[in-house]
Structure 1
Amino acid sequence: MSEVPLTLTTGDGVRLRGRHLPAESDLAIVIAHGFSGSCNSPRARHIAATLHRFGAVVAFDFRGHGNSEGVSTVGDLEVHDIEAAVAFARSRGHSTVAVAGFSMGAAVAVRHAALFGGLTAVAAVSGPAHWYYRGTPSMRLVHRAIEGRWGRAVARWTRRTRISAVGWDPPPSPPWELVHKIAPTPLLIVHGTADRYFPLRHAHALYESAADPRALWIEPGMGHAESSMTPALVRRLGAWLREPSVPPVSPPA
């Protein structure tokens, strides 16, 4: 079946644009992209096409990104965006819905699963454990884009990302504080050893704060999020989302 253009309306009234890849399957996989990303990028399309082998796919642009309306709150109100995609999948008759999030989308996927529940599996790829991390040059650049007027203007012009000029008040609970609430839904944490945004300690912090059932895949040589997902890793991810009882890879010491 070919993909279908999609418009979603969130619980707080933001219209999102996306794509639906239908399938005659009990499973639907919701894909949550990273900050300044889009479901229409070539890499995101490749990931969606590969995951489509395992079930239906719902891919969308977060608020403030691409063709969606609103402004990005960088991980706070975006939980409503995922919930809108999950509700759409259920309305199409899929009895099981899993979420795969990347980078910012991984943080939102963790927070959504903890706050809303009702999923069959959650995968967080290259996600942060806590907010305000500036320990790498890449993240210092991200903070410049988020916090400064000129940085937000550049993000809007070059990345089609509209960032809220109003800071968090109060800050939302970070992923590591909420991740234990995901249980008994299976959780998979995927992180690369060459991630230039978030070092491995973020993955370990999430894993150690989570409750079983949980799995941790440390991928040697992998970089950050969608841009570093190999076809083989996407297939492994799809297989886990379809059968999350697959024995996890033991985390290294």
Structure 2
Amino acid sequence: MSSLAEGSFHTSDASSTIRGPERATLRTSDGVRIEAVYEPCTACVSATAIVIAHGFTGSVDRPAVRRAARVFAQHAAVVTFSFRGHGGSGGRSTVGDREVLDLAAAVEWARGFGHTRVVTAGFSMGGSVVLRHAGMHGGRKEARTDAVAAVSAPARWYYRGTAPMRRLHWVVTRPVGRLVGRYGLGTRIHPEEWDPVPPSPVESVPFIAPTPLLIVHGDRDPYFPLDHPRMLAAAAGDGAELWLEPGMGHAENAADDELLTRIAAWLTGE
């Protein structure tokens, strides 16, 4: 799988007159169809839209993603979408590489509804994607983010230091594992290795400033230990805020409503 060229963003047009919930199919700059849902703020008229980037094997309709969307929608409009190879989207997952184009399409679509401020919140693989997206230079102004929150994100690629990550690498790298991913986990995975290897999250975060950055991680995360968020925060310098959450596990499944509310408040500046 080839790495993307920075700054190549595109999506289908969306009418700024639409104010109710809408499900649509977006098209990325490399031609992949992405399913997406727009939901207005349930308790406000907000200039901000939050774009949610789910974790590996997630999708727009997974219960944990819908729960996060419901909590966030109390503070801002929300866009959810399925990464390539997930849910009803086309293509095959590149596990964090070309998914940056999927996020860019969703961000640009959110701006099409008239929101002057669009922010991103990513979980696990989605956390790595929002970090890389925010750290990229160039590209369409409409596809850039105004603030970014990464939850349970890895700092570096090819990490195999925990049993869950060793299982994930088996799913991604082995033909039998990819069959398990397709038919057992509902995720279609690209069979080719990265060529070239894309910049890692820790290599990307120094370029995010002055965009506000929040890094959230649980101290009981079974996938990525605490050296990952600490490495990200150190690389970002003074431009990042780090929340280490006691008792929290991994990603959107482990983020309770109280934490999601705090993240939404941080993203919207409440």
Alignment TM-score, normalising by the size of structure 2: 0.88
From 191, 201, 208, the counterpart of 2:217 = 191
Are positions 1:46 and 2:67 aligned together? yes
Q: How big is the shift at 1:86?
A: 0.6
AA paired with 2:58? G
**Distance (Å, rounded) in 1 between the aligned partners of 2:21 and 2:257:** 20
Counterpart in the other structure of 1:251: none
Counterpart in the other structure of 2:124: 103
Q: How big is the shift at 1:119?
A: 1.8
From 122, 147, 165, the counterpart of 1:139 = 165
Counterpart in the other structure of 2:40: 22
Counterpart in the other structure of 2:247: 221
CA RMSD of superposed structures (Å): 1.2
Counterpart in the other structure of 1:7: 25
**Distance (Å, rounded) in 1 between the aligned partners of 2:131 and 2:113:** 24
Q: Secondary structure at the match of 1:196?
A: coil
CA distances 1:159-186 after superposition (whole Å, capped 9, x unpaired): 1100000100111010101101000000
Q: Secondary structure at the match of 1:211?
A: helix
| Residue segments in structure 2 that go unaligned for 5+ positions in a row | 1-18, 139-143
Q: After TM superposition, list the pairs within 5 Å mapping 1:148-159 onto structure 2.
A: 148-159=174-185
**Distance (Å, rounded) in 2 between the aligned partners of 1:206 and 1:153:** 33
> Contact 2:152 / 2:251 at 8 angstroms: preserved in 1?
yes
Are positions 1:91 and 2:112 aligned together? yes
AA paired with 2:125? M
Q: How big is the shift at 1:18?
A: 2.0
Counterpart in the other structure of 1:77: 98
Cα–Cα, structure 1 residues 91 and 116, in superposed 2: closer, same or farther, change >3 Å?
A: farther
**Distance (Å, rounded) in 2 between the aligned partners of 1:71 and 1:197:** 23
Counterpart in the other structure of 1:249: none
| Residue segments in structure 1 that go unaligned for 5+ positions in a row | 247-253
Q: Secondary structure at the match of 2:263?
A: helix
**Distance (Å, rounded) in 1 between the aligned partners of 2:197 and 2:249:** 28
Counterpart in the other structure of 2:4: none
Are positions 1:34 and 2:55 aligned together? yes
Q: Secondary structure at the match of 2:237?
A: coil
Q: How big is the shift at 1:54?
A: 1.1
> Contact 2:36 / 2:106 at 8 angstroms: preserved in 1?
no
Q: How big is the shift at 1:214?
A: 1.4
**Distance (Å, rounded) in 1 between the aligned partners of 2:57 and 2:65:** 12
**Distance (Å, rounded) in 1 between the aligned partners of 2:145 and 2:35:** 22
**Distance (Å, rounded) in 2 between the aligned partners of 1:103 and 1:116:** 23
Q: How big is the shift at 1:116?
A: 5.0
> Contact 1:186 / 1:212 at 8 angstroms: preserved in 2?
no
CA distances 1:48-92 after superposition (whole Å, capped 9, x unpaired): 011001111000000000110000000000000010001001111
**Distance (Å, rounded) in 1 between the aligned partners of 2:72 and 2:147:** 14
AA paired with 2:267? L
Which of structure 1's runs of 4+ aligned residues deviate more than 3 A? none
AA paired with 1:51? F
Q: Secondary structure at the match of 2:220?
A: coil
Segment of structure 1 superposing worse, 197-206 or 116-125: 116-125
Q: How big is the shift at 1:158?
A: 1.3
Are positions 1:230 and 2:256 aligned together? yes
Identity %: 52
**Distance (Å, rounded) in 2 between the aligned partners of 1:18 and 1:84:** 10
